[in-house]
A and B are shown apart, each in its own frame.
Chain A
Amino acid sequence: GESVGLHLPTLSVQEGDNSIINCAYSNSASDYFIWYKQESGKGPQFIIDIRSNMDKRQGQRVTVLLNKTVKHLSLQIAATQPGDSAVYFCAEKDGSEKLVFGKGTKLTVNP
């Protein structure tokens, strides 16, 4: 039969608030994690990455947290702006070069 698309998780925040986007992964062998942002009509863009020997990494307005014990990754965006509205994906590698993506979270920033 025809496959039905799943509903995309969504997050709606007010401009200026902090946003937290979560991602669970299942492969305990994964050792490299990446967050991507995808705006409508464009390919995904790299935001920030983290390797498994770290539990936190900061960029400009973004922080990635990695909890290997519970296989959880989060992306924190400080002072969220309308331009941050997009779909956010986490991706992982397990030591091979195979890059696997999660299903994404749609972030909407309300003015």
Chain B
Amino acid sequence: DVKVTQSSRYLVKRTGEKVFLECVQDMDHENMFWYRQDPGLGLRLIYFSYDVKMKEKGDIPEGYSVSREKKERFSLILESASTNQTSMYLCASSLVNTEAFFGQGTRLTVV
């Protein structure tokens, strides 16, 4: 089975902190994605990566950056966390042109 693991289920951070959300997949997938999910707004794509060190902006990249130094790991970085970044963050991975598999999500609260 494909496994996508997010490092934390719940996080509480202070405004202005630098926050790292980590995601690891074990199926040698080329693509990795970061989404945020807010009530009534569905899943919105923040960034995705189609190869090591490669990244593309999604629909809402502002306030976020990403890092993919190894194929299995994709990190989402909040340079200076703000309260409007309180959300559920979901990581996913996929092979080329196939379905994506999701992790369990990280619920981030910025206070």
Interface SS majority for chain B: strand
Per-residue interface assignment for chain A, residues 58 to 97, with 1 indicating a CB less than 8 Å from any chain B CB and 0 otherwise: 0000000000000000000000000000000101010001
Q: What residues of chain A lie closer than 8 Å to B94, measured between beta carbons?
A: 97, 99
Q: What residues of chain A lie closer than 8 Å to B39, measured between beta carbons?
A: 5, 8
B38, closest chain A residue (CB): A5
| B33 A99 Cβ-Cβ under 8 A | yes
Number of chain B interface residues as a range: 20 to 34
10 contacts between A and B (CB under 8 A): A34-B100, A43-B102, A91-B100, A98-B48, A98-B58, A100-B45, A101-B42, A101-B43, A101-B44, A102-B42
Residues on A lying within 8 angstroms of B by beta carbon are 5-8, 32, 34, 36, 42-46, 49, 89, 91, 93, 97-104
